[in-house]
Amino acid sequence: MEKGSILIVEDEEKIARVLELELEFEGYSVTKVLDGVKALEAYRTRDWDLILLDVMLPGFSGIEILRRIRASDLQTPIILLTAKSSVEDKVSGLDLGANDYITKPFQIEELLARIRVALRLKQNANWSNEPDFLLFSDLSINLKSREVKRSEKTIELTPREYDLLVYLMINKGQVLSREQILEAVWGYDFFGDTNVVDVYIRYVRKKINLPHLPALIHTVRGVGYVLKDTQ
């Protein structure tokens, strides 16, 4: 059974072919293109479930393609393929709305895991029986526009912060371990401590905790975190 449609945009033909074969083996419907111009043409031909987008491309750069897509499409998950040294590209990509990035060279198992979590988060946001909004206390998320508000104040989140908050809101009232959050939001086996969760929880808390309003994200010592209203 087909798992979803993926557009691969990668100018190194050998890498593109390997990705195509691996993803087809996993059950995805795959189309690959080798430059930025053809990428935009292919993007317009259908609704894609996910796009793998190399940053360094002939024609249009991956960052420019991302910018053009996000001007009208906030829903399609986009994972950037970047070189190790391209820190500025990673930051620019995340700021422009990329859902994730992976640096070359990478293990195919890690990429497959990141694809799975991106598709799972998209599915969570597009359940046909679910509303277009997630609501909790005075916090709201518009799943179509990805707009986050607290008490009518718009909150700007990075894609990773957004995914983390969506996961907390979907599981509101439930105590979630760091390992659960890593698996759901980062989507790959994490070797080492789970400090990355604490860091991003701190980022999100800082943005949604407004003066004179109660805190919504709470630490459960020795376990993890929970989204709850203490009023």
Residues 54 and 153 in one domain: no
Last residue of a domain, one of 70, 94, 125: 125
pLDDT digits (tens, 9 = 90+) for 117-158: 888 877 765 543 455 788 888 899 988 888 999 988 899 998
- Given a cut of 70, the residues of the chain with pLDDT beneath it are 1-2, 84-86, 124-131, 187-194, 230-231
The total domain count for the chain is 2
Residues 110 and 67 in one domain: yes
Residues 107 and 144 in one domain: no
Token reading at 224: 């993890």
Do 157 and 169 form a contact (C-beta atoms < 8 A)?
no
**Is the pTM of the predicted complex or chain greater than 0.75?**
no
Beta strands across the sheet bearing 217-220: 176-177, 224-227, 217-220
- CATH no. for residue 66? 3.40.50.2300
Token reading at 124: 């969570």
Residues 13 and 106 in one domain: yes
pLDDT digits (tens, 9 = 90+) for 91-110: 777 878 888 888 888 889 98
Domain that holds residue 146: 133-227
* Cα–Cα distance list, 128 to 22, 74, 123, 205 (Å): 30, 18, 9, 30
Per DSSP, 168 falls in state H
